[in-house]
Chains A and B, each alone.
Chain A
């Protein structure tokens, strides 16, 4: 239970509603319990001489009490279950605001599916505890106390006999609930095996067809399906027991009442009306007893889920403002310096960047070129603090970027990541993503620079066209140009393009670069690329190889050096020739 204790603050927030909920449970139970007493009295009266009007009185009383109890039953749900939804809302909100602050490292080590499962399944399991579990346990306890004391007042011996089977019911439901949960997990495992096999088969269909192994794969599938049936039937065997056992236990109580109660009636110890009241009381008790066993399972599952949630809540932010943050920094000019920067993604992983020293003066353009995996992306990720360096420091305008307020840093440095990611929003919404207010002029302006304006004009709804599955699916090049425009719109002091033209054809790329020249005049910029054509005009070009700066200089200097850069240059010329060959 210690994990669920975290929920205390949420409970306290809604304590008035919860207290009212408990009061309502009490009142409605009083009504529910009064009904059988009315019934008993009516039946007892019927055995002796009574009048029609007396019966009508009883009938009206029954309906009246029932309406009253019903109203409060309604209010209970409106209080307690609603509170559970409110707390679910708060909890998920807290969860999300925490998730948003976690570093990129966390998202790279945790699958999206995993995070999603916490946000939905785990939070839901906790919700079940807050709502139904709390409601039913209070309800059960109250009912039990009231009903049992009335039953005892009617006849304590019969009460004892009749209630004997009911605790068994609770234990049974609890045990079987657990058993079902276990079997269910087994089934889920088997089901995911089926899914994996299907996934594997359809991905590897070419190999299967090549080696004519279809029949064999089908055999495997059928075998797994057979097992799946078996596992399912194991669950069925348990589940099928539930209803019969419920019948037996509840039916047994009633039979005891009729038999032993019947004897007592014959012996004039009790009346038929008492017996009726007993039967109805048993009916009232059965559901709470079932719920009780069920609630125990909910609590266990909620505890496990809360444990997982608490683990996420304790994940450190890693990258955030700290005590060293110099809050007086309000602006950034744009000089970047790497001082002895080394970086690795994990303690036991090899260094991706090794002792990098590099200075980029304000207003200049640096180009970074190198093979896949050489460390180019890691280098620029450090500038926006998606990661912090393992050793050394990155400085902007002479300040260690760890001391620059994160807000100032990220609003002044704009990185266009390698994988263009657009939200399923309108084109306008995507491009103006980084803007604080709507600025149509700006959006059009930057779209033109990114050579995206003509594309937008061709879309059915222009800038209001929705991007993604629910609207228009962009080509790789369109995605890249849109995310370039998005970055340009923020008017950053430092612009970083991480291989942002890879899906754009060379001709368009040249035009964009031409447009950018003016835009970048006052700004510092870093361009990562595989293409010589993209980088050749930069003020400084560095070739990264295996985490170190292998070559640096201008285009002409590097060609003269006749190293990696020159080789790349030669090959790209050849490729161009081949492509142009008809």
Chain B
């Protein structure tokens, strides 16, 4: 088995100045606050190291001199510094986390807005799961960097500096002696982090293998069972499972070595102090209090050093995620809006295709030399076999894609000179595969547009005949719609999408009819709904219903990207051409149903 590497798995280098610079831009709006947080951190960092110094005073000045009052005062001072540290620490960590969350919010918003601007071409090429991961998980993994990473580095460094200052202030030579273990501690901690990181990567790799094995074999369990491979597969599984175990056991080794070693190091530091400091005390050049304080300092060192070494991990994950995020933000697959769009205040609804050519990949033309005139108020039915280019015709009219050659005119104006939003406001599209959003019936009809009043929604629902089933729902228009409308039937979903189109009252309607395979009763309702939908507008219908083609003003027969026949139902039947064949294939059965 080769190594598992997916785009989301690769761990890049830990630091990339360019990426970091770009990330820091997001902090800019909060610069003042960040600086304040850092300054506060420097201040709080002193409070911890202050306490051993105070205990030194307690021992040398008060206990040694039997000063009860002084001892009480110093105890209160210790307590005071403790409380102060706790309080400031609390607000500070709350505050920095808040700043971090704010920054993440900004990034998340920017990403989401950006993706909504991208053209359908981008969505065709990119798996949806990947876009979702970018806007959610990848942003999330920046959280540590922004919420604690940047500010806390300062705090850790300053704690160490404060400890050093207090130590050197009290006794230089003893400081030097006890600090002699410090380089070892530094080196050991960073070595440990490195080893743990490596072994953690190893563990992750094996875990990923284990997961992908299980994922794959749960999906293909029927194959495993049909071929009676359970025993062999169990052997394979056990191998992967044991590799995972062994990788973990290996990482236990590092932990098992590291923690006792740290304890050993602090013992060595204490031993050194007893040896050297003890000698100084015997000579009378050192007090017991100082020794006592130093013993406390040796234990204080470890945490900031460990924290600093962890920052490396944070940096590494942040770099990897930010690289992916920026890559998406740099994607500029847009359908451009004209710089000075022609403003439309209303449209009549005349559509003209002039020598239109279109290819999704700039090579294989799906539409060839399309010429078509649709007058205001006309209904045009588009028919054709699978792959004839029917859906493409719709896609280019709303500028989901831009055409390669020719032009499409709305009321005589090239649609590329119009504002995209204007264009789409005048044209409503009802797709075959009805997409419902989670929310309720009402929000799905209005698409949360405040301009569409409740009356309008109800009116639309009534017109398309959706009122009946909606009023039977327990909460009527407020009935919850689950993800993708899972609780509704196919027919109900279609009626909702009709109501949606109607509520927007477009001048031009594009309808991609669903192939009729629902019960006759629903079929009747839907037929009526379609009829009402088409009244008074220019309509282009990809027709799957006999009633639709029969009622259309004009039928256009597309075949392999070209318009091959045009005319009304009777004319085309009489021709005995492509339409006649399509009729027998798709519509004839419905004739039987009608009678």
Residues of A near any B CB (own CB < 8 A): 32, 35, 39, 42-43, 46-47, 50-52, 55-56, 58-60, 62-63, 65-67, 69-71, 73-78, 81-82, 85-86, 88-89, 92-93, 96-97, 99-101, 104, 107, 112, 115-116, 119-120, 191, 194-196, 198-214, 216-218, 220-222, 225-226, 228-229, 232-233, 236-237, 239-241, 243-245, 247-248, 251-252, 254-255, 258-259, 262-263, 265-266, 272, 275-276, 279-280, 283, 384, 386, 406-407, 410-411, 414-415, 417, 421, 423-424, 433-434, 466, 469-470, 486, 490, 570-571, 574-575, 577-579, 581-582
Chain B residues within 8 Å of A216, by CB:
447-449
Q: Is B93's CB under 8 angstroms from A236's CB?
A: yes
Q: Is B97's CB under 8 angstroms from A112's CB?
A: no
Chain A residues within 8 Å of B233, by CB:
100
Chain A residues within 8 Å of B187, by CB:
none
Q: Is A232's CB under 8 angstroms from B132's CB?
A: no
Q: Is A100's CB under 8 angstroms from B63's CB?
A: no
Chain B residues within 8 Å of A283, by CB:
299
Nearest B residue to A435, CB-CB: B227
Q: Is A262's CB under 8 angstroms from B71's CB?
A: yes
User: What are 15 A-B interface contacts by the 8 Å CB criterion?
Assistant: A52-B279, A70-B263, A78-B252, A96-B214, A97-B230, A202-B123, A206-B429, A229-B105, A233-B94, A233-B97, A240-B89, A252-B82, A414-B227, A421-B219, A423-B216
Choose one: B55, B438, B560; the contact of A196 (CB below 8 Å).
B438
Choose one: A63, A112, A120, A251; the contact of B51 (CB below 8 Å).
A251
Tell me, rounded to whole Å, the shortest Cβ–Cβ distance linking A207 to chain B.
Answer: 5
Kindly supply a per-residue 1/0 record for chain B positions 254-293, scoring 1 wherever the CB is within 8 Å of any chain A CB and 0 otherwise.
0111011101100110111011001101100000100110
Choose one: B78, B112, B260, B278; the contact of A198 (CB below 8 Å).
B112
8 A Cβ contacts from B93-131 to A: 93-94, 97-98, 101-102, 104-105, 108-109, 112-113, 115-117, 120, 123, 128, 131
Q: Is B128's CB under 8 angstroms from A578's CB?
A: no
Chain B residues within 8 Å of A71, by CB:
260
Q: Is A55's CB under 8 angstroms from B447's CB?
A: no
8 A Cβ contacts from B48-86 to A: 48, 51, 55, 58-59, 62-63, 66, 68, 71-72, 75, 78-79, 82-83, 85-86
Chain A residues within 8 Å of B4, by CB:
470
Kindly supply a per-residue 1/0 record for chain B positions 423-439, scoring 1 wherever the CB is within 8 Å of any chain A CB and 0 otherwise.
01101110100010110
- Measured in the bound complex, the distance between the Cα atoms of B81 and A244 in whole Å is 12
- Measured in the bound complex, the distance between the Cα atoms of B59 and A43 in whole Å is 13
With A62-B274, A70-B264 in contact, is A247–B93 under 8 Å at CB?
Answer: no
- Measured in the bound complex, the distance between the Cα atoms of B288 and A279 in whole Å is 14
Chain A residues within 8 Å of B234, by CB:
93, 96-97, 100
Of A199, A415, A490, most buried by chain B (CB within 10 Å of CB) is A199
Tell me, rounded to whole Å, the shortest Cβ–Cβ distance linking A128 to chain B.
Answer: 12
Q: Is B226's CB under 8 angstroms from A92's CB?
A: no
Chain B residues within 8 Å of A579, by CB:
385
Kindly supply a per-residue 1/0 record for chain B positions 570-595, scoring 1 wherever the CB is within 8 Å of any chain A CB and 0 otherwise.
00000000100110110000000000
Chain A residues within 8 Å of B345, by CB:
none
Nearest B residue to A417, CB-CB: B222
- Measured in the bound complex, the distance between the Cα atoms of B115 and A218 in whole Å is 10
Choose one: A88, A205, A262; the contact of B245 (CB below 8 Å).
A88
Q: Is A236's CB under 8 angstroms from B438's CB?
A: no
B211 lies within 8 A of chain A by Cβ? yes
- Measured in the bound complex, the distance between the Cα atoms of B216 and A96 in whole Å is 13
Q: Decide if the interface of chain B is mainly helix, strand, loop or mixed.
A: helix
Chain B residues within 8 Å of A89, by CB:
241-242, 244-245
With A207-B431, A247-B89 in contact, is A42–B278 under 8 Å at CB?
Answer: yes
Q: Is A237's CB under 8 angstroms from B221's CB?
A: no
B36 lies within 8 A of chain A by Cβ? no
Known: A43-B292, A212-B425, A423-B217; 8 extra A-B contacts, CB below 8 A, are: A63-B264, A63-B267, A70-B263, A96-B214, A100-B224, A100-B233, A221-B112, A578-B559
Q: Is A203's CB under 8 angstroms from B435's CB?
A: yes
Q: Is A218's CB under 8 angstroms from B112's CB?
A: yes
Q: Is A112's CB under 8 angstroms from B219's CB?
A: yes
Q: Is B282's CB under 8 angstroms from A213's CB?
A: no
Query: Which A-B residue pairs are the 6 nearest by beta carbons?
Result: A70-B260, A244-B86, A66-B267, A55-B278, A77-B256, A259-B75
Choose one: A96, A99, A232; the contact of B241 (CB below 8 Å).
A96
Chain B residues within 8 Å of A486, by CB:
227
B398 lies within 8 A of chain A by Cβ? yes
Nearest B residue to A55, CB-CB: B278
B296 lies within 8 A of chain A by Cβ? yes
Nearest B residue to A74, CB-CB: B256
- Measured in the bound complex, the distance between the Cα atoms of B116 and A206 in whole Å is 10
Nearest B residue to A199, CB-CB: B132
Chain A residues within 8 Å of B75, by CB:
255, 258-259, 262
- Measured in the bound complex, the distance between the Cα atoms of B512 and A206 in whole Å is 13
- Measured in the bound complex, the distance between the Cα atoms of B275 and A59 in whole Å is 6
- Measured in the bound complex, the distance between the Cα atoms of B120 and A466 in whole Å is 32
- Measured in the bound complex, the distance between the Cα atoms of B97 and A67 in whole Å is 41
Q: Is B140's CB under 8 angstroms from A78's CB?
A: no
Q: Is B288's CB under 8 angstroms from A415's CB?
A: no
Q: Is A99's CB under 8 angstroms from B218's CB?
A: yes
B176 lies within 8 A of chain A by Cβ? no
Choose one: B62, B217, B483, B559; the contact of A262 (CB below 8 Å).
B62
Q: Is A69's CB under 8 angstroms from B260's CB?
A: yes
Chain A residues within 8 Å of B226, by CB:
384, 386, 410, 414-415, 417
Q: Is A115's CB under 8 angstroms from B282's CB?
A: no
- Measured in the bound complex, the distance between the Cα atoms of B255 and A85 in whole Å is 14
B369 lies within 8 A of chain A by Cβ? no
Q: Is A248's CB under 8 angstroms from B86's CB?
A: yes
Q: Is A252's CB under 8 angstroms from B431's CB?
A: no
B154 lies within 8 A of chain A by Cβ? no
With A104-B221, A410-B226 in contact, is A208–B274 under 8 Å at CB?
Answer: no
- Measured in the bound complex, the distance between the Cα atoms of B218 and A184 in whole Å is 29
Q: Is A78's CB under 8 angstroms from B94's CB?
A: no
Chain B residues within 8 Å of A67, by CB:
264
- Measured in the bound complex, the distance between the Cα atoms of B259 and A76 in whole Å is 12
Q: Is A272's CB under 8 angstroms from B299's CB?
A: no
B229 lies within 8 A of chain A by Cβ? yes
- Measured in the bound complex, the distance between the Cα atoms of B102 and A236 in whole Å is 13
B32 lies within 8 A of chain A by Cβ? no
- Measured in the bound complex, the distance between the Cα atoms of B249 and A225 in whole Å is 40
Of A76, A200, A218, A415, most buried by chain B (CB within 10 Å of CB) is A200
With A86-B245, A206-B400, A229-B101 in contact, is A63–B271 under 8 Å at CB?
Answer: yes
- Measured in the bound complex, the distance between the Cα atoms of B104 and A229 in whole Å is 9
With A417-B223, A578-B582 in contact, is A206–B120 under 8 Å at CB?
Answer: yes
- Measured in the bound complex, the distance between the Cα atoms of B277 and A50 in whole Å is 13
Q: Is A58's CB under 8 angstroms from B89's CB?
A: no
Nearest B residue to A279, CB-CB: B296
Nearest A residue to B97, CB-CB: A236
B527 lies within 8 A of chain A by Cβ? no
Q: Is A107's CB under 8 angstroms from B109's CB?
A: no
Q: Is B109's CB under 8 angstroms from A218's CB?
A: yes
Tell me, rounded to whole Å, the shortest Cβ–Cβ distance linking B298 to chain A.
Answer: 10
Q: Is A202's CB under 8 angstroms from B264's CB?
A: no
Chain B residues within 8 Å of A99, by CB:
218, 221
B327 lies within 8 A of chain A by Cβ? no
Tell me, rounded to whole Å, the shortest Cβ–Cβ distance linking B215 to chain A.
Answer: 6
Tell me, rounded to whole Å, the shortest Cβ–Cβ distance linking A27 to chain B.
Answer: 13
Nearest B residue to A248, CB-CB: B86
Chain B residues within 8 Å of A86, by CB:
245
Nearest A residue to B384, CB-CB: A578
Nearest B residue to A410, CB-CB: B228
With A100-B234, A198-B132, A237-B94 in contact, is A210–B102 under 8 Å at CB?
Answer: no
8 A Cβ contacts from B23-61 to A: 48, 51, 55, 58-59
- Measured in the bound complex, the distance between the Cα atoms of B278 and A407 in whole Å is 79
Chain A residues within 8 Å of B68, by CB:
263, 266
Tell me, rounded to whole Å, the shortest Cβ–Cβ distance linking B272 to chain A.
Answer: 7
B238 lies within 8 A of chain A by Cβ? yes
Tell me, rounded to whole Å, the shortest Cβ–Cβ distance linking A266 to chain B.
Answer: 5
